Chains A and B, each alone.
Chain A
């Protein structure tokens, strides 16, 4: 690594710090949104006074707010995200146990989105206002409007219940049974990929149209360069930055959207964990899941930022 790259990585890492601090504040602040006495709400209506007091002490709710925050933060930094109020299992352990199931379908969906969205976007952009373009764009607007969990249900009905090609529910460990894990993940990833495909297709199409209609590319045309060469050499090189940005956006959305998909396919991932713990008012778990997911998104944004700088040297000077 050159000095310049090191400096760049260093400056980006420093920029991440305030975002991290604000994120922890927001996650900690979730508990402040609970109306009334959080301890009583968490304990439930039938709880005894002892139980409420016990919860209050366990969550440190008897301390001033800033002390609670520092306490929570110092724990989080050391990897201690407290324990579940219901199962008593350490939160980080539970989240990390479920995370692979979630990440498997998210990354599979992301790969599908890129693999299908990019060719579709190119196809549409090179046939602007033609029949293919109109077909692709209207399918894409459909893809943005379809509720993904409903798509999941339809896929289950057709491919799992009807044809029996895929299992209806559950997940398997990628490290222990990789083939079964992929088999299980296929339908959820497909349902999840739908909006990603649509988003990438739309954004890539409009970015490509902008580049291809620019003065610079029209000059290349006039010079007699063949269309395919222009597309590969100039068009795609110029839109690769747009694509990178969109992929980052789609990753963030997919990570959120997986929640409903996990419910449809009964996948024991972080999504189903956050729903169950929000329903049961198991706040340490809710905070833990949100914290880990935000860390993943921030890391992903950082990676995209660095890739951006590597692809576009002009950016790195800023």
Chain B
């Protein structure tokens, strides 16, 4: 019996998803694009016509039947490099946001839940961290941790964390005052149970929106840092790093800079559109009728 109930609720959730996407064409397109990008990234090794690091004598060739997007300065196939850059980029974005969540979420929840001097102290630290120009701080942290994609994205995640902490802190403070939290306390629930069962599920929505928007920011940060040579290290391909190479040969082969740039632009656009759509969907000022 409970199986059918579960099925019903799953069906309901799916139909809600369908209504949302049917009502918001931009969100539907963005989600489809990201799903396509995700599957292409998973299958990059199978689909890509060449190895991303295989060099040839065909240097800076224009697009042709053999090389759809031409070749770069070492004769590597740009299309294959673009495909292999996808997983790098997605890995980088998700890593940065995960690090940001892993640091920001617990700090923000604890500050909001405990209040008092803990909250005051954390608030001060958050304010301070937010007055650092973010990319400069990320570069400085990358320099300290050591250059490379993973380290640079951990640095970006550290830079994200105060913003996430501030958001979840405010949400926690709001939910903490709800009666169902008091009720849970009278049942003898531990602080951890109150936080995980009652506060987080009711406070997390704005964070989900923020995370979607941050994925776009992380993507752009990865591109910038790899462009500056602090992120992905050659010969591994990433879109930002491809742009850095293309820039060097811009006078000879200007068309090389379009494909990676557009890939970054569209992906960032998709994450942003999805985030904005989620924000509108979860907006508490809009009546919920489901």
A23 on the B face (CB < 8 A): yes
Are B137 and A290 in contact, with the CB atoms below 8 A? Answer: yes
A35 CA to B139 CA in the complex, in Å?
16
Residue of B145, B228, B276 near A33 (CB, 8 A) is B145
B200 close to A (CB within 8 Å)? no
Of B125, B132, B224, B272, the residue contacting A145 (CB under 8 A) is: B272
Closest to B158 in A: A33
The proximity string for B residues 224-248 relative to A, scoring 1 for CB distances below 8 Å and 0 otherwise, is 1001111000000000100100110
Q: A154-B257, A255-B133, A259-B224 are in contact. Are A18 and B124 (CB under 8 A)?
A: yes
Does B216 sit within 8 A of A, measured CB to CB? yes
Note all chain A residues with C-beta closer than 8 A to B71.
none
Tell me the bound Cα distance from A199 to B79 in angstroms: 33
Interchain CB contact (< 8 A) of A294 among B132, B135, B246 = B132
Residues of the B chain whose Cβ atoms lie less than 8 Å from the Cβ of A287: 140
A179 near B: Cβ within 8 Å? no
Q: Does A73 contact B (CB under 8 A)?
A: no
B142 touches A (CB below 8 Å): yes
Residues of chain B with a CB closer than 8 A to A34's CB = 144-145
A274-B140, A275-B139, A283-B143 known; A157+B254 contact, CB < 8 A: yes
Total residues of chain A contacting the partner, CB 8 A: 51
* Chain A contact residues: helix, strand, loop or mixed: helix
Bound Cα distance from A293 to B135, whole angstroms? 12
Give B120-141 as 1s and 0s: 1 = Cβ < 8 Å from A's Cβ atoms: 0000110111011111110111
Contact in complex: B229, A30 (CB < 8 Å): no
Distance in Å: Cβ of B48 to nearest Cβ of chain A: 23
Q: Which of B109-117, B168-176, B177-185, B263-271 contacts A (4 or more CB under 8 A)?
A: B263-271
In the bound complex, what is the Cα–Cα distance between A263 and B134 (angstroms)?
17
- Inter-chain CA distance A145–B230, complex, in Å, is 21
- Complex alpha-carbon distance, A34 and B145, angstroms: 5
Query: Are B220 and A278 in contact, with the CB atoms below 8 A?
Result: no
**Of all chain A residues, which has the CB nearest B134?**
A256
**Contacts A147-B224, A153-B243, A153-B250; is A141 near B272 (CB within 8 Å)?**
yes
- The answer to whether B251 has its CB under 8 Å from any CB of chain A is yes
Give CA–CA (A297, B128) in the complex, Å: 10
Q: Give the docked Cα–Cα distance between A182 and B195 (Å).
A: 55
B269 engages A26 (CB within 8 Å):
no
Per-residue interface assignment for chain A, residues 295 to 317, with 1 indicating a CB less than 8 Å from any chain B CB and 0 otherwise: 00110010000000000000000
Q: For the complex, what is the distance from the CA of A177 to the CA of B136, rounded to whole Å?
A: 29
Contact between chains at B143 and A279 (CB < 8 Å): yes
Residue ID in chain A nearest B268 by CB atoms: A145
Q: Indicate if the CB atoms of B230 and A26 lie closer than 8 Å.
A: no
Is the CB of A186 closer than 8 A to any CB of chain B?
no
The answer to whether B144 touches A149 (Cβ under 8 A) is no
Q: Is the CB of B135 within 8 A of A257?
A: yes
Expressed in whole angstroms, the minimum distance between the Cβ of B240 and any Cβ of chain A is 8
Given contacts A33-B144, A147-B264, contact A278 B139 (CB under 8 A): yes
Answer yes or no: A98 CB below 8 A from chain B CBs.
no
User: Is there a chain A Cβ closer than 8 Å to B147's Cβ?
Assistant: yes
Docked Cα-Cα span, A255 to B131, in Å, equals 11
Kindly identify, within residues 143 to 167 of chain A, every residue whose CB is under 8 Å from any CB belonging to chain B.
Answer: 144-147, 149-150, 153-154, 156-157, 161
B residues in contact with A154, CB < 8 Å: 257, 261
Query: Are B136 and A293 closer than 8 Å at their CB atoms?
Result: yes
- Given the known inter-chain contacts A278-B140, A298-B131, please indicate yes or no for A147 contacting B261, CB distance below 8 A: yes
Instruction: Please tell me if B223 contacts chain A, counting CB pairs below 8 Å.
Output: yes
Q: Smallest Cβ distance from A31 to chain B, in angstroms?
A: 7
B62 neighbours in A (Cβ, 8 Å): none
A103 to chain B, nearest CB (A): 13
**A84: Cβ under 8 A from any B Cβ:** no
Known contacts A147-B223, A275-B228, A294-B131; decide if A161 and B272 are in contact (CB<8 Å): no
Instruction: Decide if B143 touches A19 in the complex (CB within 8 Å).
Output: no
Contact for A150 among B125, B131, B243, CB less than 8 A: B243
Q: Which of B127, B128, B131, B250 contacts A161 (CB 8 A)?
A: B250
Whether A255 and B230, one on each chain, are in contact in the complex, defined by CB atoms closer than 8 angstroms, is no
Q: Which of A23, A153, A157, A274 contacts B139 (CB 8 A)?
A: A274
Residue A252 at the B interface, CB < 8 A?
yes
Residues in chain A near residue B136, CB distance under 8 A: 255-256, 259, 271, 274, 289-290, 293
Rounded to whole angstroms, the CA-CA distance of A146 and B223 in the bound complex is 11
Q: Using known A-B contacts A147-B224, A157-B254, determine if residue A22 contacts B125 with beta carbons closer than 8 Å.
A: yes
| Neighbouring B residues of A146 by C-beta, 8 Å | 265, 268
The answer to whether the Cβ of B273 comes within 8 Å of any Cβ in the partner chain is yes
- Interface flag for B106 (CB, 8 Å): no
Q: Is A277 part of the binding interface, using a Cβ–Cβ cutoff of 8 Å?
A: yes
- Can you list 23 residue pairs at the A/B interface with Cβ under 8 Å? A19-B124, A22-B124, A22-B125, A23-B128, A26-B132, A33-B144, A41-B146, A141-B272, A145-B272, A153-B246, A153-B250, A153-B257, A153-B261, A256-B135, A260-B135, A264-B247, A274-B140, A278-B147, A279-B230, A283-B144, A286-B144, A294-B131, A298-B131
- Chain B residues in contact with chain A, CB under 8 A? 124-125, 127-129, 131-137, 139-147, 216, 220, 223-224, 227-230, 240, 243, 246-247, 250-251, 254, 257, 261, 264-265, 268-269, 272-273, 276
List 10 A-B pairs, minimum CB-CB distance, nearest first.
A278-B143, A256-B133, A145-B268, A256-B135, A33-B144, A22-B128, A150-B261, A145-B269, A255-B133, A260-B224
